């Protein structure tokens, strides 16, 4: 995630105030770049959510003793748990936990990129205001 933060910091910064026109022309390219990233991670997020739902179903069957016998031959589970206790087992399941972490991480990237797209869109407004201010300072109104 730090790489993404660094890339955004580098891209959205307006370094040379003498080249505001070039910065303005760069804005649609930046928006496109981060929108593509956001869409890519949004699709990954949806895929992970689907994987989680499928794994949750499998784990539910496993913990309730409803899986195929071959599953239990690979991973023995001799406890009889009540449906009321199922959440305790699924919440502490290592596989589900790892997948939840990946989902959270991907969702945070999507949310961050959504914010970056908004910042990049607002960048043109800031550039225009800077250009207007420079014109005003030079007496060109």
Task: Please indicate, yes or no, if residue 1 is contained in any of the structural domains.
Answer: no
Axis-axis angle for helices 94-138, 20-63 (nearest 10): 170
Question: Helices 2-12 & 94-138, crossing angle to 10 degrees?
Answer: 10
How does pLDDT run across 5-14, given as a tens digit for each residue?
A: 999 999 888 7
> What's the structural domain count of the chain?
1
Q: How far apart are CA 117 and CA 127, in angstroms?
A: 16
* In-domain check, residue 87: yes
Assigned domain for 11 exists: no
Query: Which residue is associated with the tokens 């739902």?
Result: 53
Q: pLDDT (tens digit, 9 = 90+) per residue, 17-74? A: 778 888 888 889 999 999 999 999 999 999 999 999 999 999 999 999 999 999 999 9
Is the residue at 115 inside a domain? yes
What's the domain range around 97? 22-138
Q: Taking a C-beta distance cutoff of 8 angstroms, is the pair 90, 59 a contact?
A: yes
Q: Is residue 60 one of the residues assigned to a domain?
A: yes
What is the torsional sign of CA 45, 49, 51, 52?
positive
Percent of residues, the chain, with pLDDT higher than 70: 99
Q: Is 59 in contact with 96 (CB distance < 8 Å)? A: yes
Q: Do the domain assignments include residue 6?
A: no
């Amino acid at each position: 995630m730090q790489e993404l933060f660094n890339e955004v910091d580098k891209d959205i910064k307006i370094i040379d105030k003498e080249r505001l026109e070039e910065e303005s022309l760069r804005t649609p390219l930046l928006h496109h770049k981060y929108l593509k990233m956001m869409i890519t991670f949004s699709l990954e997020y949806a895929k992970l959510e689907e994987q989680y739902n499928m794994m949750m179903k499998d784990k539910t069957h496993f913990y309730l003793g409803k899986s195929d016998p071959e599953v239990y031959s690979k991973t023995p589970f001799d406890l009889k748990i009540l449906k009321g206790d199922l959440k305790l087992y699924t919440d502490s399941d290592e596989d589900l936990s790892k997948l939840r972490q990946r989902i959270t991480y991907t969702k945070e990237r999507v949310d961050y990129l959504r914010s970056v797209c908004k910042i990049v869109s607002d960048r043109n407004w800031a550039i225009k205001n800077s250009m207007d201010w420079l014109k005003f300072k030079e007496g060109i109104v």
